Amino acid sequence: MGTPGMRPLLAAALAGLLALGATACGSEQTAQAEPEAGSDKKITVYSGRSESLVKPVLEDFQKASGITVQVRYGDTAQMAAQLQEEGNRSPADVFLAQDAGALGSVAGQGLFAKLPNEVLDKVPAAYRDEDGEWVGVTGRVRTMAYNTDQVPKGDLPESVFELTEPEWKGKVGIAPTNGSFQAFITAMRVEHGDERTEDFLAGLKANDAQIREGNAPIVADVNSGMLASGLVNHYYVYELAKEKGTTVDALKAKNHFFPNGDIGSLVNVSGVGVLDKADDDPDVRKFVDYLLGKGAQTYFAEQIYEYPLINSVVTAPGLPSLVSLNAPDIDLNDLDDLRTTIEMIKESGLV
Amino acid sequence: MPTLTPRRARRFLPRPALACAAVLAVGVALIPLVYLGIRVGQAGWGRIADELFTARTGDLAGRSVALAGVVTAACTVLGVAAAFLVTRTDLPARRVFGVLAALPLAVPSYVAAFAWVSLAQGFEGFWAAALVLTLVSYPYVYLPVAAALVGVDPAQEEVARSLGRGPWQTAVGVTLRQVRPAVAAGALLVALYVLSDFGAVSILRVDVFTRAVFTAINLGFDRTGALVLATVLVALSALVLLAEQLSRRRAARYARLGGGAPRPPTRLRLGRLRWPAVLGLAGVLGAALGVPAVSLVRWFGEGVSRPGSLGELADAAGNSLGVALLGTVLTVVLALPVGLLSARVPGLLAVALDRLAYLSHALPGLVIGLSLVFFGINVAYPLYQSVWLLALAYAALFLPLAVAAVSAAAAQAPPGLEEVARSLGRRRAYVLRTVTLPLAAPGIGAGAALVFLTCMKELPATLLLRPTGMNTLATGLWTHTSVAAYAAAAPYAALLVLIAAMPTWWLSARTGVLTRTGG
């Protein structure tokens, strides 16, 4: 192809792009016309938590407050990446996330507003950001799911470290590519040091730990007897019971909570952060208050069996109390720590 | 009238306009690469070196290439064999097989992988992934090869036979050589698809590059690291493209030179191989279609969760259809100038544009999605989180599928007719509309069908870019499987496969295997 054709062609391409850019700038000014300062009775929530888990809460809030909630569901980590890409022009007012790491990555970009103290104070210090940029909404506990036919109650371990011993060879399922497993390993490093954690990971590998893609497949396999046990979050047995149309008591898979504050029963949080631009939005504030209010917390406790984080709501029956468990003595949104953990898991050969 | 030399023939197409449109179209496919360039540039050399120059990177790249190589080879063998059996032999029930053989394309890789895992304990690793990916992507080879085998001029085979070559010798030495460009085009799409796939490799736990990209984002919340890693996928696809380009040069062209009435090709008698062939093909279909079907039925039967309501399901199906259609229209419109350019004005520009259109095809949907978020926020803000930007993402993702179809179809349409129209005083645009496009329409339609069903299956970019509150079948499937509500997910999966199967059906029908004339 001859070169003479190229120059007008490039010019045309550039002109096209400029035209696009111009329309972009033009309509933006009109699009951002807000009806009034303060409340516009509308908020946009980015939810990294599943629709089936949080939709009822959002609907209740909408009914109670008259504020329209536009929700965008997605994967927590991918949504965090999306928020970072959107920066200050994000349509989101609120980010509801499944774990602290994701909230930390958004906070790290300076996208969250600092929450007021009266909001933060509703939740124990261990379950919120040190700088007050996000706050925990619910707690979820690491447990060992076990099959009652294959593991007698008396054989259940006192500590998660026992799982690297010979009697557990080939009997433990883990999901090393799962976020909550990684948080658990990070916490182990903080509490017991990198060396002991590396030994634990190597021990799991040597003990022929059974790898699964996520927590749900582990619990399903434990229930069917394909696996004797597995390290998961506590609420997966409830999800399985719901899917099977039965109660947790009727399942073969049961939760074992490691006693005495063992790191094996670490508490993780799901939480919420408010985007900078919505800092003064009274509707958003109402929403955050609602999530930490009695109604929503009771729903989380009773309907999806997560741990309420405010004092006035009690944990669902059958679950050990939050104070008896190991609260993370660590900054769960410290991403450098998270990266070291991922490296460690990779080096152990488990992924 | 003197014969027109190729150089003079070029004048019969609106060249500058065509070239401009083609450049703009390829620009869309390049958005992800520009984005990668910007973000990786911000990372700085130290960071890039840290991420890339590690033993693990080499390891992952090796495994990605190996997986792409194995699956491409297997798809080529399977796709060509299946196409040959249904178009050129006396295979029993060949019309039924002809249609069914294309249907695995309608099964998303994550559904297929999940189906296999839940049926076979311990089914994981490299070969498991190779098997599943082969089963879902061999139709990329099967479809163009079947179409080429039906369309090829039988004259050469007849010559070979008359000169004493046996039927099998002719099939391998003459017939298959003639369809080599179709095989290469299909194999290229398979190779790039395997490099970009995340669904199957994550479920079957093969550590390949896409998995490393996702791990960086999903566990490390490390967008920059993920994007740096993704550049390796671009480099790998450049290698694949180069390899395909080289194979093209060595392949001679055997186009039908017009003239001669199209007539059915001779069919090989399979003889004793009849039933083994039937069993083999049935086995492949059982694995590719039967396993997912059984699995979906089991999901549905074993759980009590159900989709919210039929209305929700219908709504999701409607949305899926809508955005997939929009995406298809946009993709095909963008592909037209690129395909026409490479068919009618072959040269450096056409080749460069064609190759560039493929370059980002090995990037995972998540990276393409993020790049369109970036584009939407910074360039096209009014379109952000509208169906238009989602359609643009589909175009960026699937442009190569349509470009391949358009250029093949335009190359088949004889330029002579356009020349006649021009010589009779018709304007270029008029000729394009009344001669070129109608001639190429079936081929373009095939490309459109392919794009449509691929849009239907797309998940990661759809999650990032869909309008807030909009559900599609793919996102509905994701919503329910993410909370282990497999029974509720099953109807979404089934509907997705059924709707995607329709264009697939049409695709295989138009290859000619359904026509009665050769039976």
Whether B8 has a pLDDT exceeding 60, the answer reads no
Predicted local confidence at residue A329, as pLDDT: 67
CB within 8 Å: A335 and B221: yes
Confidence band of B12 (pLDDT split at 50, 70, 90): very low
Other Cβ atoms within 10 Å of B387 Cβ, number: 17
CB B95 within 8 A of CB B29: no
CB within 8 Å: A1 and B349: yes
Give the pLDDT confidence of B194-246 residue by residue, as tens digits.
Answer: 999 998 998 888 989 998 898 888 878 888 889 999 999 999 999 999 988 88
CB A240 within 8 A of CB A220: yes
- B392 φ/ψ angles, rounded to the nearest 5 degrees: -65, -40
Confidence band of B165 (pLDDT split at 50, 70, 90): confident
* Residue with the larger pLDDT of the pair B118 and B470: B470
Q: What would the two tokens of residue A293 be?
A: 């209010």
Q: Where are the domains of chain A?
A: 42-139+267-320, 140-266+337-348
The DSSP element (H or E) to which B310 belongs, if any, is helix B310-344
CB within 8 Å: A85 and B374: yes
CB within 8 Å: A78 and B464: yes
CB within 8 Å: A177 and B479: no
Alpha-carbon distances, residue A269 vs A48, A111, A226 (angstroms):
13, 20, 30
Burial class of B479 by CB neighbour count within 10 A (0 to 12, 13 to 18, 19+) = buried
Q: How far is A70 from chain B (nearest CA, A)?
A: 7
Predicted local confidence at residue A326, as pLDDT: 67
Residue among A12, A24, A346 minimizing CB distance to B380: A24
- d(CA B231, CA B243) in angstroms, rounded, equals 19
Architecture of domain A140-266+337-348: 3-Layer(aba) Sandwich (3.40)
CB within 8 Å: A20 and B379: yes
Lowest-pLDDT range of A45-59, A69-83, B265-279, B326-340: B265-279
What's the farthest any 2 CA atoms get from each other in chain A? 85
What mean pLDDT do residues B451-466 have? 93
Q: For chains A and B, what is the number of CB pairs under 8 angstroms?
A: 156
Q: Which residues pair with A268 in a beta bridge?
A: A140
Query: Of A129-143, B12-26, B233-247, where does the model show the most confidence?
Result: A129-143
CB within 8 Å: B220 and A342: yes
For residue A98, what is the nearest residue in chain B, using CA coordinates? Answer: B218
A42-139+267-320 and A140-266+337-348: identical CATH topology:
yes
CB B123 within 8 A of CB A217: no
SS (H, E, C) chain A: CCCCCHHHHHHHHHHHHHHHHHHHHHHHHHHCCCCCCCCCCEEEEEECCCHHHHHHHHHHHHHHHCCEEEEEECCHHHHHHHHHHHHHHCCCCEEEECCHHHHHHHHHCCCECCCCHHHHCCCCHHHECCCCCEEEEEEEEEEEEEECCCCCHHHCCCCHHHHHCHHHCCCEEECCCCHHHHHHHHHHHHHHHHHHHHHHHHHHHHCCCEECCCHHHHHHHHHHCCCCEEEEECCHHHHHHHHHCCCHHHCCEEEECCCCCCHHHEEEEEEEEEEHHHCCCHHHHHHHHHHCCHHHHHHHHHHCCCEECCCCCCCCCCCCCHHHCECCCCCCCCHHHHHHHHHHHHHHCCC
DSSP track, B212-251: HHHHHHHTT--HHHHHHHHHHHHHHHHHHHHHHHHHHHHS
Give A174's contacts (C-beta < 8 A, 6+ positions apart).
A181, A204, A209, A210, A211, A212, A218, A230, A231, A350
What mean pLDDT do residues B400-404 have? 90
* Residue with the larger pLDDT of the pair B287 and B504: B287
Residue among B370, B484, B485 minimizing CB distance to A85: B370
CB within 8 Å: A87 and B377: yes
Whether B390 has a pLDDT exceeding 80, the answer reads yes
Q: Which fold has domain B54-219+273-305+502-519?
A: MetI-like fold (1.10.3720)
Give the pLDDT confidence of B33-91 residue by residue, as tens digits.
Answer: 999 999 999 888 888 988 888 888 888 999 999 999 999 999 999 999 999 999 888 88
CB B471 within 8 A of CB B312: yes
Q: How far is A218 from chain B (nearest CA, A)?
A: 11
Q: Options 3.40.50.2020, 3.40.50.12780, 1.10.3720.10, 1.10.287.3510; which CATH number does B13-31+307-484 get?
A: 1.10.3720.10
Question: If you average pLDDT over every residue of chain B, what do you get?
Answer: 86
Predicted local confidence at residue B294, as pLDDT: 93
Q: What would the two tokens of residue B39 be?
A: 């973000």
Tokens 């194995």 correspond to what residue?
A: B70
Interface test with A, best of B221, B222, B302, B386 (most A CBs within 10 A): B221
Predicted local confidence at residue A327, as pLDDT: 67
Q: Which fold has domain A42-139+267-320?
A: D-Maltodextrin-Binding Protein; domain 2 (3.40.190)
Q: What would the two tokens of residue B457 be?
A: 């299956």
B13-31+307-484 and B54-219+273-305+502-519: identical CATH topology:
yes
CB B468 within 8 A of CB A44: yes
Distance of CA B294 to the CA centre of its chain: 26
Give B362's contacts (C-beta < 8 A, 6+ positions apart).
B192, B195, B196, B233, B234, B236, B237, B240
SS3 call for B195: helix
Q: How far is A161 from chain B (nearest CA, A)?
A: 23
CB within 8 Å: B303 and A244: yes
Query: Of A37-41, A128-132, B145-149, where does the model show the most confidence?
Result: A128-132
CB A229 within 8 A of CB A146: yes
Residue among B23, B226, B382 minimizing CB distance to A24: B382
SS3 call for B459: coil
Predicted local confidence at residue A12, as pLDDT: 45
Q: Which residues in chain A touch residue B474, judged by CB atoms under 8 angstroms apart?
A: none
* Residue with the larger pLDDT of the pair B414 and A276: A276
CB within 8 Å: A351 and B480: no
Predicted local confidence at residue A95, as pLDDT: 97
SS3 call for B148: helix
Whether B113 has a pLDDT exceeding 60, the answer reads yes
CB B401 within 8 A of CB B66: no
Q: Which residues in chain B touch residue A53, judged by CB atoms under 8 angstroms apart?
A: 483
What mean pLDDT do residues B138-148 have? 89
Q: Where are the domains of chain B?
A: 13-31+307-484, 54-219+273-305+502-519
CB within 8 Å: B373 and A82: yes
Q: Which residues in chain A touch residue B484, judged by CB atoms under 8 angstroms apart?
A: 216, 219-220, 236, 239-240, 243
Whether A2 has a pLDDT exceeding 80, the answer reads no
Give the pLDDT confidence of B416-429 residue by residue, as tens digits.
Answer: 788 888 888 888 77
Q: What's this model's pTM, rounded to 2 decimal places?
A: 0.86
What mean pLDDT do residues A206-225 have? 91
